[in-house]
Amino acid sequence: MALRELHSSLGPEEKTQFIAAVVSLLERRDPRVFDELCWLCDMLTIEEATPVLMEMLRDKEFASRHGVEVAVALSRQGARQAAALLMSIVHERLNSPSLRKRRNRLTHPCLIALARGTPIAVAPYLRMAFEDDMRNGFKSWPAGPEFYWGGTTLQMLMVEIVSEFGADGVELIKDVFRGTPAQWEAYLREALSETVRALVEPGPGGISPPPVSEEAVQRLREYMELLSPTTNYVTPALPPSDYDGELVEPSGIPGAHRCAGVPMDGNAERCGFRSIVACSQSDYRSQNEGATAMRRNVHVIKHLQGWAVVLEGNERPSYTTRTKCEAIAVGRALAAHGQSELIIYDEDGRILQQDSYCRDARPPQDEGDL
């Protein structure tokens, strides 16, 4: 907020110079400051960066590494301008027979950006995304509807549609999901519940909910009540992800430990989308100066609104979760795949446990000890 106020206090000429400097730095694609520049574009709604960001998305090699940050940096107006490009990326991936490609780390951020700019364009993909979650899973363990919580792509897409079209948007959602199998209704109901929550309650940091009519919210609630709240169907577990967030086959992860059916704290607060955490790892690094540079240790730390999995050297989390057990499950898969260390911290930031998945691995401790 302070940065936004500072930017607003600049005179017209100073503001022009500042924006020009940000765009110029973006064009250089300097990895040392790239994430921060994308964050600035998002925070300050720098429309002038749109052509540069679009060019980055067209560069497939660059987009494979930094596309998530680029998609998030697009403003609503920028996403509207980039709608054809975003739709091309989304359509190619969601229609792929490969689960790895459909769940490519760039797919859903581009889908969300498309919804921010042109909500009606994502309507054909609502059912596709939902059915993919139901058939192939959405967590790293077999999960029931109680885990289909806020922050899922489906919920974000529905928020954008209802915010834009009101009651007509609700009717569109009902048409899209007409004929949903009864065994999936409880999952859809949970997604609708979270959509209502996002439309009426302040977001992380006290962000005001989007303007939407009471009629639209009421119709959404009525539709939700028509769906069954219970089911015996449990979605399968997703394969673990590698360091780049790409799905990998379980057989490709030697010694991976997954927490199947980990109980979660139903009262835990939902963590905000794109939450940023700061992680101090100096104490641990001082004990491991001889570690191979190519190995990136995995840290499970307390998050402002849950728990986070952070790769060593990063300031932002790779994953945010509601509970510690879920974060540990993801962290184990990443550490095992990268043959590195898993370091688990307590709520006060002290190291609680270290498990090694290197070739000279120490046996992982029993999770029950945590």
pLDDT at 199: 92
pTM across the whole model: 0.64
Phi, psi of 343 (to 5 degrees): -115, 120
CA–CA separation, 43 and 75 (whole Å): 9
Contacts 24+ apart (CB under 8 A), 79-85: 79/113, 79/114, 79/116, 79/117, 79/118, 80/117, 80/118, 81/50, 81/54, 81/117, 82/50, 82/53, 82/54, 82/57, 82/113, 82/117, 83/114, 83/117, 83/118, 83/121, 85/54, 85/57, 85/58
pLDDT-above-90 percentage for the chain = 35
Contact 145, 114 (CB under 8 A): no
Q: Taking the CA atoms of the chain, what radius of gyration do you get in angstroms?
A: 21
Contact 220, 287 (CB under 8 A): no
Strands (E), the chain: 298-303, 306-311, 319-321, 341-345, 351-356
CA–CA separation, 258 and 313 (whole Å): 24
Length of the chain: 370
CA–CA separation, 275 and 19 (whole Å): 24
Domain limits, the chain: 1-117, 121-238, 250-369
Contact 210, 199 (CB under 8 A): yes
Q: Which two tokens stand for residue 102?
A: 């459909």
* pLDDT tens readout for residues 18-45: 889 889 999 999 888 888 888 888 888 8
- For the sheet with 306-311, list strands across it: 319-321, 306-311, 298-303, 341-345, 351-356
Contact 92, 63 (CB under 8 A): no
- Nearest CA to 279 among 329, 244, 318? 318
- Nearest CA to 188 among 272, 260, 127, 97? 127
pLDDT at 2: 54
Provide the mean pLDDT of the chain. Answer: 78
pLDDT-above-70 percentage for the chain = 77
* pLDDT tens readout for residues 223-245: 999 999 999 999 988 776 654 55
DSSP assigned state of 363: P
pLDDT at 238: 78
Mean pLDDT of 192-205: 85
Q: Which two tokens stand for residue 133?
A: 């979650």
Is residue 73 scored above 60 in pLDDT? yes
Contact 322, 265 (CB under 8 A): yes
Q: Which two tokens stand for residue 229?
A: 């709240």
